């Protein structure tokens, strides 16, 4: 069984920089040490894997993600040529990473690093750099343009990301399917003696907005509204659309990334080759994704078997796992949250 091992340091009294004042901070600003807060002073709720989620800047984090987000706000220096893949967890980021990476590196597809590295190693998380031994050097050594990823909500992104006008690609998914995918992922995680959270309890917390970087609906709306305000800078995709029309959306993605497919490439079936290469079934079969491991930062203590990132990749599977009442409740919340902003599911 795929699993995750997590070392659980006692962070309740740890002092961390309060990044509340870092919103929209420019690269040249020094975060300083004026605002300090203990994690234990933050609002908290029952966690899924760790004991608690902590509320920070309106969203819920476990300790691991919280420290990473604060580090990113204080230290990450975005470049105008950066491309950031931004998603709520379990909404299709692994697939998006593979498609974007293969599209940008299609000249060497036969020897693509995706053959020997997990998509999350090919496209690193910004926030997990907090747990690398030399994060700044690691980021600066990436080839240009840098392809990066994050689960950080839009309004909590490092100020340099917003100030640099680098491009952002967001993908979202039907909240019901996302919740089921999340439960599946959680079932493959081993956190020692901690009792796993029940589906009913996780569902109740999720619907009340308490989930990793949740509320999901607020997270999605942040990127949706940004894409409407600045479509040249933020591309918003739906997982369901990507599944239904993969070729057309890969073509759209390439154009947005600044590496459009030429007429010759289209005639030679390059887009089709990328779609086949990056399909969930193809990625599952790669040795690195069957037996490999992904480390969420060298010093984080969190290691995930790469097979845990690949499930069915199907649309609508939630109907096989949720009761009618659960479906009704999520659908109603989604309608109430999204429709006022013109986003429909």
Pick from 5, 2, 1: nearest CA to 190 = 5
Q: 91-128 burial, b for 16+ CB within 10 Å, e for fewer? A: bbbbbbbbbbbbbbbbeeeeebebeebbbbbbbbbbbb
234 — alpha (psi -120 to 50), left (phi > 0) or beta?
beta
Active site residue 120: no
The CA distance from 308 to 170, in Å, is 22
Catalytic, out of 64, 120, 151, 219: 151
Q: Which residues pair with 52 in a beta bridge?
A: 46
The CA distance from 21 to 230, in Å, is 24
Structure token pair of residue 80 = 């105008």
Rg (CA), the chain: 19
The CA distance from 172 to 317, in Å, is 16
User: What residues contact residue 297 under an 8 Å CB cut-off, 6+ apart?
Assistant: 68, 128, 129, 130, 131, 132
The residues annotated as belonging to the active site are: 151
């Amino acid at each position: 069984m795929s699993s995750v091992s997590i070392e659980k340091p006692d962070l309740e009294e740890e002092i961390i920089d309060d990044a509340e004042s870092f919103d929209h901070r420019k690269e040249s600003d020094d975060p300083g040490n004026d605002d300090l807060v203990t994690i234990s002073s933050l609002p908290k709720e029952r966690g899924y894997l760790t004991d608690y989620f902590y509320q920070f800047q309106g969203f819920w984090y476990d300790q691991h993600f919280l420290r990473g987000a604060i580090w990113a706000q204080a230290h990450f220096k975005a470049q105008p040529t950066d491309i950031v893949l931004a998603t709520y967890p379990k909404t299709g980021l692994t697939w998006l990473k593979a498609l974007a990476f293969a599209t940008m590196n299609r000249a060497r597809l036969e020897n693509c690093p995706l053959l020997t590295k997990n998509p999350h190693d090919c496209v690193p998380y910004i926030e997990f750099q907090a747990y690398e031994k030399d994060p700044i050097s690691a980021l600066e050594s990436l080839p240009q343009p840098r392809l990066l990823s994050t689960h950080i909500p839009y309004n909590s992104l490092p100020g340099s990301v917003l100030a640099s006008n680098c491009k952002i690609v967001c993908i979202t998914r039907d909240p019901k399917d996302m919740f089921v995918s999340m439960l599946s992922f959680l079932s493959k995680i081993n956190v020692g003696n901690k009792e796993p959270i029940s589906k009913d309890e996780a569902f109740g917390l999720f619907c009340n907005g308490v989930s990793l970087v949740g509320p999901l609906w607020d997270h999605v709306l942040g990127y949706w509204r940004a894409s409407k305000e600045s479509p040249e800078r933020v591309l918003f995709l739906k997982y369901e659309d990507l599944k239904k029309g993969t070729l057309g959306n890969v073509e759209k993605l390439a154009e947005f990334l600044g590496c459009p497919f030429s007429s010759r490439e289209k005639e030679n079936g390059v887009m089709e080759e990328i779609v086949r290469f990056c399909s969930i079934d193809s990625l599952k079969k790669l040795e690195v994704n069957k037996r490999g491991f992904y480390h969420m930062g060298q010093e984080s203590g969190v290691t995930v078997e790469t097979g845990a990132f690949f499930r069915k990749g199907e649309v609508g599977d939630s109907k096989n796992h949720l009761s009618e009442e659960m479906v009704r409740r999520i659908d109603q919340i989604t309608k109430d949250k999204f429709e006022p902003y013109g986003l429909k599911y």
